[in-house]
Structure 1
Amino acid sequence: MDTEEVDLLVIGGGVAGLTAALVAAIEGLRVLVCEKSDQLGGTAATSAGTVWIPGSSQSRQAGLADPLEQARRYLAAEIDTDSGAELREAFLATGPRVLDYLAQHSCVEFVPAVRHPDYHDRHAGAAIGGRALVARAFDGRLLGRDFARLRPPMRSMMVLGGMSVSKDDLAPLLRPFASRAALRHVLALLGRHARDRLRHPRGTRLVMGNALIARLLYSLRQRGVAVRTGVAVQALHQEAGAVTGATLSQEGRDVHVQARRGVVLACGGFGHGAAWRQRFLPAPGQTHSLMFEGNTGDGLRLAESVGAAIDDIGHSTPAFWTPVSVLRHADGTRQMFPHFALDRAKPGLIAVDARGQRFVNEGDSYHDFVLAMLRAPGEAPAVPAHLVCDAGFLRRYGLGLVRPGAWRLQPFLRAGYLHRAPTLAALAAGLGIDPAGLQATVARHNRFAQTGVDEDFGKGTSELNRFNGDAGHGPNPCLGPIAAPPFYAVTVWPGDAGMSVGLRTDEDARVQGLDGQPITGLYACGADMGSIMRGRYPGPGVTLGPALVFAWRAVMHALQQRPG
């Protein structure tokens, strides 16, 4: 068997793995990254790419003061368990330093969102902006041939056959003639995309998660780090209880890699691992996963083989959730749309269960929305649930995969993705829900729309609701009548966008054994690591923020170890 020796072996080419590799390279270590698929980026590449890191210098420079004590108070109110408290404290203390470190030593640079509220402003310490940051847009042409190795965004998150758009692009694209600035912005986007498509399979103006992964990959290229794809990890090696390397397999050839300072597991969790889903997730047959298909639990499997413990204590739910709708194409393929923010909070939409009744504040966070679906009692199932609106709503805001403007509806109607009917009773019958219940629910909701007060669920009362609503609509930016036929609906299911359950680690991301002691030489970060949030979802980016921070902490600890 061939042998190879490095300082640090990183298993997984997503945001956590690439960050760990970059930090190791900056610190002068010889590092090898192994990704089992043919493309890099994992789930993060298809995500919004937001990181939640309070107290950053970037936010202070933008005029957004955010003392860490406020974030500490907020997390204490959000997370009602001591489990993981030491890790949360390490995260808060280290997060700002990690952002500055990456900005100083690489091209990984973040911009704070002036307004991107925490998800529960009822809790003390919640912030309206500054804690959520996104990577600056990146020119994918700088990657050269490596652009093809970057996993593209979800098909449903691109327009015009491969143009990536951010939230800031949406308003100009939907109303290009609203102002000269909007028109200039749209013309610049379209011109760039037209030029890109002459030479590339998709647009090279990268935003959100694609920009983050591209910046990490470009920084690794600048430092000459070996990033190999199509590599499977067969087994970890141990000597005297310490993990010292792994056996890799690529194109039928096995290689033994000796890792002098340790191995970092960053395999993306178990979103598509059937046995793991059966073990930890509720009603696995009724959920869909937005995670990368290659996330099958390899990191957890490898760690358990050397005696690691799974961290499933104190988690209010094993996953991080979002409602998804599913379009089934004629060729048998599926296209999922995550209903994060574009439609649910807008005025003139309700979500109903099998009784035709509302069960949740539709404008609440995607995670909270699905938790309400899963909590629904058996006599009133909300899995699946249905988003209901009228023709006016569809024209103004769109619904799921149906873009605003309500044109070219036939493909969605034929596929059964979009439901349409001339009356609410007929719509309910087509959905298989109670017609009388839906009619009564809409009538009650329409009274709320007139007064601007949702007496049942308080839609429009939180900062998050209003942020995702329609600021130009009154008296409540999140409440509007459902009255103009025909009526429409899209069915949504629970979708996991990340895992909370993972490997048990300490504050330096060292994987712990069943005895609670660290396994020397073995680290885990990203979705392989049990979430410090313990199944709670306090704000945008609470999976990627800790992924960066604990990747950094893992490498900083490995640096202190005597080479094996």
Structure 2
Amino acid sequence: MDAETVDLLVIGGGMAGLTAAAQVAAEGGSVVLAEKAERTGGSARFAGFVWTTPTVEEMRRINPDGDPELATALVDGFADGVAWIRSLGVECRPPVPVLGFGRGHQVDTNHYLDSCERLIRDRGQEVLTTTWTRSLVTENGVVKGAECVAPDGSVRRIEAAWTLLATGGFQGDPGLRAEHIHPSAADIGLRANPHSRGDGLTLGSSAGAAFGKKDAGFYGHLMPAGVSLADPARFVDLALYYSEHALLFDTTGERFVDETLGDHLTTMALLERPQARGLLVADARVHREWISASYVEGIPGVDKFQLCHRAGARSAVADSLEDFAAMPEEWGYPGTTIRDRIKEFNAATSKNGATTPGRRLDRQPLDEPPFHVVEAAPAITFTFGGLLIDAGAHTLSANSEGRTPVPGLLAAGADAGGLYRRAYAGGLAPALVFGLAAARTALTESPTALTR
């Protein structure tokens, strides 16, 4: 095994890993990036917006249980992150509202990721693909690199002053999903690349890094139940974003969540209901104004109901609410109960009365036929739980009651936990901001100083 020493070893070549490696290379540092897939980019290649909340106060409002230090670092570092993207010649389009509380930019993420990789290589640094990291190298409690397995099976020892875990989370592993999210999570759909299977979590835990936060949840969306997500094009095309303006019923025929607070939150709530599936009901107004409309400014609208129907989803159009009584028995839903609950909802909202659950952001009745029905199920994009970090992307020790870093070990992207707990304000933005933070740490700090 050949030994070498670099300023930063990056394990994982997605948004966070490529960002960190490119920044180190741009500043004249030495870096090796090891990615186990055949191509870098990870799930970031399926995304198109970099965004978060415009203020720390707004972040705390929508994410009250997240780490306040990380939340502040994300919001304060966002502008520098956008400037870094633009410095590579990648266009960030003018800012637009996102999810009603955020603000961000449409970005050609493929251009950005490829530009990072090209910069790394042009500066004479290495990008290794189809390369698996089997273990970290540690000495007296300090992480000093890793042993990586090349495509031919040979083992390469890469020694580094700092090692960054950026493997993308653990959403690709059903067992880890069941252990850390919910037992039913083992069977949910994956709207992300299949390679993020908890490698960073395993490696970090072996070095004594802490995992958290408990019950953090995940980011995902409602998708049509029973429809294959093998084609990444379906990740956005079939996402039922319009659920925020529809009604969702579980297999008992009851509503259980305020759908208007966000499809990503409804997705987590549905996972915990019986059989983790439900019927999403919209009327003609919702179909006209939301199902066929653009979810985010700059993205063309399509009729998602028709896309789901053509994809083979369990779906139907009811000419009246009375048609719900004839719902097929094999669907497994009490149609008459759902009919009655919609009538009760319409009566309450028409008189500006209370509904249970509430409807904070859209209290219009669903009373304009026809009604569009799609069976929905939760699908996961990335995990919120991960290795706890500070604002400098240092992993924090599981053996300390305080915020003691694990010397030499960093984490960013979905490998890092603590930022969100059952809340969400952007996925690319944290990977970008904490990827840059990891680069700054690798360029300016000595890991051995942490042990003194």
- Asked whether the two chains share a fold, i.e. TM above 0.5, the reply is yes
Secondary structure of the 2:406 match is strand
Cα distance change of structure 1 residues 392 and 228 upon mapping to structure 2, 3 Å threshold: same
- Residue pair 1:24, 1:31 contacting (<8 A) in 2 also: yes
Amino acid aligned to 1:503: L
Secondary structure of the 1:279 match is helix
Question: CA RMSD, aligned part only?
Answer: 3.6
Residue 224 of structure 2 corresponds to which residue in structure 1? Answer: 325
Alignment of 1:162-561 (within 5 A): 209-220=109-120, 223-283=123-183, 284-312=185-213, 315-328=214-227, 337=235, 342-346=241-245, 349-374=246-271, 381=274, 383-389=276-282, 397=291, 404=303, 411-412=310-311, 415-419=312-316, 423-427=323-327, 429-447=329-347, 455=355, 459=359, 462=361, 479-484=365-370, 488-516=372-400, 517-537=404-424, 539=425, 541=426, 543-561=427-445
Cα distance change of structure 1 residues 112 and 53 upon mapping to structure 2, 3 Å threshold: farther
Secondary structure of the 1:111 match is coil
Residue 44 of structure 1 corresponds to which residue in structure 2? Answer: 44
1:100 to 83, 87, 91: 83
CA-to-partner distance for each residue in 1:126-177, whole Å, 9 max, x for gaps? xxx6x32332x4xxxxxxxxxxxxxxxxxxxxxxxxxxxxxxxxxxxxxxxx
Cα distance change of structure 1 residues 41 and 451 upon mapping to structure 2, 3 Å threshold: farther
- Residue pair 1:232, 1:250 contacting (<8 A) in 2 also: yes
Distance, in Å, in 2 between the alignment partners of 1:97 and 1:563 is 25
Q: Given the alignment of the two structures, is residue 76 of structure 1 paired with residue 60 of structure 2, yes or no?
A: yes
Cα distance change of structure 1 residues 374 and 20 upon mapping to structure 2, 3 Å threshold: same
Distance, in Å, in 2 between the alignment partners of 1:510 and 1:351 is 41
Amino acid aligned to 1:344: S
Secondary structure of the 1:110 match is coil
Calculate the TM-score normalised by the size of structure 1: 0.67
Amino acid aligned to 2:201: L
Distance, in Å, in 1 between the alignment partners of 2:134 and 2:447 is 23
Distance, in Å, in 1 between the alignment partners of 2:156 and 2:119 is 27
Distance, in Å, in 2 between the alignment partners of 1:398 and 1:97 is 35
Q: CA deviation at 1:398?
A: 5.5
Secondary structure of the 1:495 match is strand
CA-to-partner distance for each residue in 1:413-458, whole Å, 9 max, x for gaps? xx45334567222226352211221221233445568678885556
Secondary structure of the 1:43 match is helix
Distance, in Å, in 2 between the alignment partners of 1:511 and 1:356 is 45
Q: CA deviation at 1:529?
A: 0.8
Residue 157 of structure 1 corresponds to which residue in structure 2? Answer: none
Query: Kindly, what percent of the aligned residue pairs are identical?
Result: 27
CA-to-partner distance for each residue in 1:295-350, whole Å, 9 max, x for gaps? 110011111222222223xx453322422224546xx968865665643245xx43
Secondary structure of the 2:382 match is strand
Cα distance change of structure 1 residues 433 and 75 upon mapping to structure 2, 3 Å threshold: same
Q: CA deviation at 1:15?
A: 0.3
Residue 104 of structure 2 corresponds to which residue in structure 1? Answer: 132
Cα distance change of structure 1 residues 454 and 50 upon mapping to structure 2, 3 Å threshold: farther
Cα distance change of structure 1 residues 544 and 409 upon mapping to structure 2, 3 Å threshold: closer
Distance, in Å, in 2 between the alignment partners of 1:333 and 1:506 is 35
CA-to-partner distance for each residue in 1:104-128, whole Å, 9 max, x for gaps? 4x22453343333544xxxxxxxxx
Distance, in Å, in 2 between the alignment partners of 1:557 and 1:259 is 17
Secondary structure of the 1:133 match is strand
- Residue pair 1:107, 1:216 contacting (<8 A) in 2 also: no
Cα distance change of structure 1 residues 416 and 506 upon mapping to structure 2, 3 Å threshold: closer
Amino acid aligned to 2:410: Y
Distance, in Å, in 2 between the alignment partners of 1:12 and 1:528 is 10
Q: CA deviation at 1:223?
A: 4.2
Secondary structure of the 2:341 match is helix
Cα distance change of structure 1 residues 512 and 287 upon mapping to structure 2, 3 Å threshold: same
Q: How many residues align?
A: 432
Distance, in Å, in 1 between the alignment partners of 2:307 and 2:324 is 22
| Structure 2 unmatched runs, 5+ | 296-300
Calculate the TM-score normalised by the size of structure 2: 0.82
- Residue pair 1:49, 1:544 contacting (<8 A) in 2 also: yes
Cα distance change of structure 1 residues 28 and 355 upon mapping to structure 2, 3 Å threshold: same
CA-to-partner distance for each residue in 1:82-125, whole Å, 9 max, x for gaps? x7333333333333233334434x22453343333544xxxxxx
2:97 to 101, 115, 134: 115
Distance, in Å, in 2 between the alignment partners of 1:342 and 1:77 is 22
Amino acid aligned to 2:205: E
Secondary structure of the 2:260 match is coil
Cα distance change of structure 1 residues 5 and 353 upon mapping to structure 2, 3 Å threshold: same
Secondary structure of the 2:417 match is coil
Secondary structure of the 1:344 match is helix
Cα distance change of structure 1 residues 322 and 384 upon mapping to structure 2, 3 Å threshold: same
- Residue pair 2:221, 2:263 contacting (<8 A) in 1 also: yes
Deviates most, 276-285 or 25-34: 276-285
Q: CA deviation at 1:546?
A: 1.6
Secondary structure of the 2:375 match is strand
Secondary structure of the 1:2 match is coil
Q: CA deviation at 1:292?
A: 1.8
Distance, in Å, in 2 between the alignment partners of 1:410 and 1:265 is 40
